[in-house]
Homo-oligomer: A and B are copies of this chain.
């Protein structure tokens, strides 16, 4: 639907009766320009509705003032929260943050990375889909631009990493649960995600380490649907009175929904613990006890990592526990 080909610097130069160099210098303020010419140029640009063509600029300079973010799935509230906070961290003009959703697929993830690299982004932030199979994409990215892995990482790559200490998070859960529940009398069940991502992996490790290596475990994916299914299995298998620890709030909300729908009571009969600290956790009734990730801090850390173009480095943030009503406030 382009009504007319849009104006270029050459058009502005012609109308103002100057050279394109002068137009460029006037509009970008690169070098001093005679006030009279400056006025002529500005007026001509205004009159033609001139808008710089960033493609031309990007080709000449080798920078684009753009950072790409590839997320596995925008519908997962934790990832969209990260995307939003990162956008906000780049909200002051100068650098644009563009988001691409891999839609849970390795191929689409690879396409997103290739696309951003081909577009010559100055830096790339990536939440890898898979702990091993995303290696090719992460390495390709890291070889070309400053690359930061977020929330999850692929082992043995040259890229930076920003995330939370998942084992420390599970330690907080253990501290809390063991202080309010009698673990020798009440069973603990872990509803996690298959260890395809480093975060799922580390959370499972955390459970085995702080609770017991034999903790009964159900592994699926990061979704509410999986949470519901797992809850159904827990009920079917007769784990009455269990404390259900999950790998993510979306899972926990699915578990909670199913339990309540079946008329079970929380926290009297079952306890449910989430992970991530998404907004919806606080909206549940009873509100979800969860491990909150400092999303805003992480986003700011990425911003400063990109601004100061240093060597690859890893940044582990400490999560904190948010007490909700899906776990008892004091010893049962």
B-contacting residues of A (Cβ < 8 Å)? Answer: 1-3, 6, 49, 51-56, 58-59, 64, 73-75, 77, 80-81, 83-84, 87-88, 91, 93, 96-101, 103, 105, 108, 111-112, 114-115, 117-120, 142-147, 158, 224, 253-254, 256-257, 260-261, 279-280, 282-285, 287, 309, 311-312
Pick from B54, B97, B145: contact of A1, CB below 8 A: B145
Q: Across the interface, do A117 and B51 meet the contact criterion of CB distance under 8 Å?
A: yes
- A282 CA to B97 CA, complexed, in Å: 32
CB distance from A246 to the nearest CB of B (A): 13
Which residue in chain B gives the minimum CB-CB distance to A83? Answer: B74
Which residue in chain B gives the minimum CB-CB distance to A310? Answer: B1
Q: Across the interface, do A3 and B101 meet the contact criterion of CB distance under 8 Å?
A: no
The 8 A-B residue pairs with the shortest CB-CB distance, nearest first, are A54-B118, A87-B101, A80-B80, A99-B99, A74-B84, A260-B285, A75-B84, A1-B146
Q: Across the interface, do A97 and B100 meet the contact criterion of CB distance under 8 Å?
A: yes
- A143 CA to B112 CA, complexed, in Å: 28
A84-B103, A91-B103, A260-B285 known; A3+B119 contact, CB < 8 A: no
- A115 CA to B96 CA, complexed, in Å: 8
Residue numbers in B under 8 Å from A142 (CB-CB): 1
Residue numbers in B under 8 Å from A101 (CB-CB): 83-84, 87-88, 97, 99
Q: Across the interface, do A143 and B279 meet the contact criterion of CB distance under 8 Å?
A: no
- A279 CA to B54 CA, complexed, in Å: 38
Pick from B58, B98, B145: contact of A2, CB below 8 A: B145
CB distance from A11 to the nearest CB of B (A): 15
Q: Across the interface, do B75 and A80 meet the contact criterion of CB distance under 8 Å?
A: yes
Given A74-B87, A280-B280, 14 more pairs with CB closer than 8 A:
A1-B158, A2-B143, A2-B145, A49-B143, A52-B118, A54-B118, A75-B77, A96-B112, A253-B283, A254-B283, A257-B283, A257-B287, A261-B285, A261-B287
